[in-house]
Chains A and B, each alone.
Chain A
Amino acid sequence: MNTSAPFFWQKNPALAWREIDDETVIISPQDSVMHELNDTGSFLWKNIDGRKSAAELAELLAANYEVTPDAALSDTQALLEEMSSRKLVVNAPETGE
């Protein structure tokens, strides 16, 4: 999956989630599976709003954590791929059509 393509990410609307102690707990009701995100994952999760691309999310990560822009982009893409494979995030529908 090419997560650097210019599309936006959104949280899967079918999920239930909650931030607890700087972590995020996500429940997938369809299969009753619980997912946990660590600090970095939680930061990204909070900022995934259907209006940001992977590159934009990486910029936020670099601005808030002590990582280089290249490392932030690499981490962001890896996390998005992982979240996408677990169906935690999906591509936001394109607007303006």
Chain B
Amino acid sequence: MNATVATSGRDSRQQFELSIGSVPLRLQMTDAQLFGAVSARYAAFTDAAEQPIAIDLNDGATAQGALADFGYEFEGAVLRAFSNQICFDAVRNQYALDSLLRIFLSWKLLGHNGFLLHAATVIRNKKAYIFTGRSGAGKSTVASLAPEGSVLTDEISLLRREDGIWRAYGTPFWGEFRAAGSNTSAPVAGIFRLLQAAENRVESLRPMATLRTILPNVLFFSAEAETNRQLLEILNQAAKEIAGYNLSFRKDRAFWEVLPT
């Protein structure tokens, strides 16, 4: 579907509609230059779903005096989520917007049994293999070794539990490998913690070890106790229901041979 480019009746705001992880969003802005950059950056994630979450960029007309349900400031750009309005202010460029979108989604996904994870995701046999680990562990290498078109993301994976099944979605938040993720999803085959080694080998993890693997790599920005409790519930369920593994990884294609099917 094409991006919706519209001019509202009361001003000259342009709109770009997209969805990330089945969360429909409408970005509204008056800055034509920013609109152009946004349209190009998120082109692969264009969508026109019903009732998208409207996000006002640099609108300046926020709900006066209202307390935000969630707020965050990142390098001068400010996110405020009110019950009836989402505001991104002081967004100077597409990169600042990208950062605020990640932060917003990390919070919004709590209501969708989902979370963002620093991980590369590759589709193989219609299942999503999620590779996580600290910087330099090999996420981009895994992505670079995967067949063309099979990489959902090389940087930020989005996981959601839908109808009792965990699915991994691509995101437009890319790392060093690909220009953009893929806006598709697949059931999760497993989460693999990358460990550089001289040989390729997998070792099954207990749920607690899987949680220990996931937690440091989850993107989450709220310092509020209750939202962190919600997140922990979701992560605990994920650790119980998704098979977790240590993947000793030689950084060659042969690692696929040791992965469970």
Asked if A30 and B223 make an inter-chain contact with CB atoms under 8 angstroms apart, the answer reads yes
In angstroms, how far is the closest chain A Cβ from the Cβ of B209? Answer: 9
Asked if B216 and A34 make an inter-chain contact with CB atoms under 8 angstroms apart, the answer reads yes
Q: Do A20 and B215 form a contact, CB below 8 Å, given A14-B225, A29-B223?
A: no
A90 at the interface (CB under 8 A from B): no
CA distance A18 to B214 in the complex (A): 15
CA distance A32 to B227 in the complex (A): 13
How many chain A residues touch B (Cβ–Cβ < 8 Å)?
Answer: 16
B211's contact among A16, A17, A20, by CB below 8 Å, is which? A20
Asked if A27 and B232 make an inter-chain contact with CB atoms under 8 angstroms apart, the answer reads yes
Interface size class of B (residues with CB under 8 A): 20 to 34
User: A32 — which chain B residues lie within 8 A by C-beta?
Assistant: 220
User: A78 — which chain B residues lie within 8 A by C-beta?
Assistant: none
A21 at the interface (CB under 8 A from B): yes
A96 at the interface (CB under 8 A from B): no
State the total of A-B contacts with C-beta under 8 angstroms: 44
Asked if A16 and B215 make an inter-chain contact with CB atoms under 8 angstroms apart, the answer reads no
B contact residues vs A (CB 8 Å cutoff): 206-208, 211-212, 215-216, 220, 222-225, 227-229, 231-233, 236, 239
CA distance A32 to B221 in the complex (A): 9
Question: What are 17 A-B residue pairs whose CB atoms fall within 8 Å in the complex?
Answer: A13-B225, A14-B225, A16-B231, A18-B232, A18-B236, A20-B208, A20-B211, A20-B236, A25-B208, A25-B232, A27-B228, A29-B222, A29-B227, A29-B228, A30-B223, A32-B220, A34-B212
User: B224 — which chain A residues lie within 8 A by C-beta?
Assistant: 29
Q: Do A20 and B207 form a contact, CB below 8 Å, given A25-B232, A27-B232, A34-B216?
A: yes
For chain A, what secondary structure do more than half of its interface residues adopt (helix, strand, loop), or is it mixed? strand
Asked if B208 and A16 make an inter-chain contact with CB atoms under 8 angstroms apart, the answer reads no
Asked if B206 and A16 make an inter-chain contact with CB atoms under 8 angstroms apart, the answer reads no
In the complex, what residue of chain A is closest to B206 when comparing beta carbons? A21
Contact string against B for A residues 24-36, beta-carbon threshold 8 Å, 1 for contact and 0 otherwise: 0101011010101
User: A71 — which chain B residues lie within 8 A by C-beta?
Assistant: none
A67 at the interface (CB under 8 A from B): no
Asked if A16 and B207 make an inter-chain contact with CB atoms under 8 angstroms apart, the answer reads no
Asked if B211 and A25 make an inter-chain contact with CB atoms under 8 angstroms apart, the answer reads yes
In angstroms, how far is the closest chain B Cβ from the Cβ of A2? Answer: 29
Asked if B239 and A16 make an inter-chain contact with CB atoms under 8 angstroms apart, the answer reads no
User: A30 — which chain B residues lie within 8 A by C-beta?
Assistant: 223
Q: Do A17 and B232 form a contact, CB below 8 Å, given A25-B211, A34-B215?
A: yes
In angstroms, how far is the closest chain A Cβ from the Cβ of B196? Answer: 23
CA distance A78 to B215 in the complex (A): 27
Beyond the given A15-B225, A32-B220, please list 4 additional residue pairs across the A-B interface where CB-CB is below 8 A. Answer: A17-B232, A23-B208, A29-B225, A36-B212
